[in-house]
């Protein structure tokens, strides 16, 4: 059957042989493409791409079919899916390197809190409050905070972590939180 499907008449471009090939294997190719097509309207276009690829350059791709390696249906399914994916990739707009995008397009307007959070005095230690203020209000990095307070940078990270755990636990059950 596979040898009959790829007869000399087909590979020589005879119209009747090509029509018979399309009639026999068209449903298989449509089914393979349907699994790739993001929009149902693309199925016909992608199927057409597959058939064009099969007969392009004097049936060059079709001539590469080797019945010893795979059944014709398997080979056609792989060709159909690959062709459909390639066609969809070509349609996608090319990505633009981030350096080529104007900075104004990337800018996000700053969001200021509507109101300052009021924390219970006993929730955080004075050191934790100071570290959070330095990190978030003054936008200092951990090394600068450690130097300013005369402590190890790991102590800054640890105090920050413990403060965040306490804040999450405090606000977890807050009904007034948006």
Which regions of the chain carry the CATH code 1.10.1740.10? 2-91
Range of weakest confidence among 8-17, 20-29, 74-83: 8-17
Q: What is the dihedral of CA 51, 54, 59, 64, to 10 degrees?
A: -160
CATH 3.10.450.230, applies to 118-172: no
Q: What is the pLDDT of residues 16-65, one digit of tens each?
A: 888 888 898 999 999 999 888 877 788 888 999 999 998 888 888 888 88
Q: What is the pLDDT of residues 99-126, one digit of tens each?
A: 777 777 777 777 776 666 677 888 889 9
> Could you tell me the pTM of the whole model?
0.49
Element (H, E) at 24: helix 15-34
pLDDT at residue 89 in the model: 84
Q: Are the C-beta atoms of residues 46 and 83 closer than 8 Å to each other?
A: yes
Q: Are the C-beta atoms of residues 18 and 59 closer than 8 Å to each other?
A: no
| The two three-digit tokens of residue 84, written as one number | 């459909």
The CATH fold of domain 2-91: Rna Polymerase Sigma Factor; Chain: A (1.10.1740)
The answer for residues whose C-beta is within 8 angstroms of residue 124's C-beta and 6 or more apart is 132, 163, 166, 167
3-state secondary structure at position 36: coil
Neighbours of 105 (CB within 10 A): 6
pLDDT at residue 114 in the model: 67
Q: What's the CA angle centered on 137, arms 135 and 140, to 5 degrees? A: 40
């Amino acid at each position: 059957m596979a040898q009959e499907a790829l007869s000399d008449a087909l590979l020589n471009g005879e119209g009747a042989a090509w029509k018979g090939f399309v009639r026999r294997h068209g449903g298989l190719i449509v089914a393979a493409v349907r699994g790739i097509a993001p929009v149902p309207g693309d199925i016909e276009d992608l199927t057409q791409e597959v058939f064009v690829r099969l007969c392009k350059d004097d049936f060059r791709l079709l001539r590469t079919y080797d019945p010893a390696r795979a059944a014709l249906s398997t080979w056609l399914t792989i060709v159909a899916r690959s062709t459909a994916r390639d066609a969809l990739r070509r349609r996608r707009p090319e990505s633009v390197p981030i350096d080529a995008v104007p900075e104004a397009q990337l800018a996000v307007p700053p969001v200021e809190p509507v109101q300052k959070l009021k924390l219970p005095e006993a929730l955080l230690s004075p050191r934790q409050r100071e570290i959070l203020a330095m990190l978030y209000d003054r936008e200092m990095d951990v090394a600068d905070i450690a130097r300013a307070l005369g402590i190890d940078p790991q102590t800054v990270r640890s105090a920050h972590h413990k403060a965040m755990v306490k804040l999450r636990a405090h606000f977890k059950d807050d009904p007034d939180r948006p």
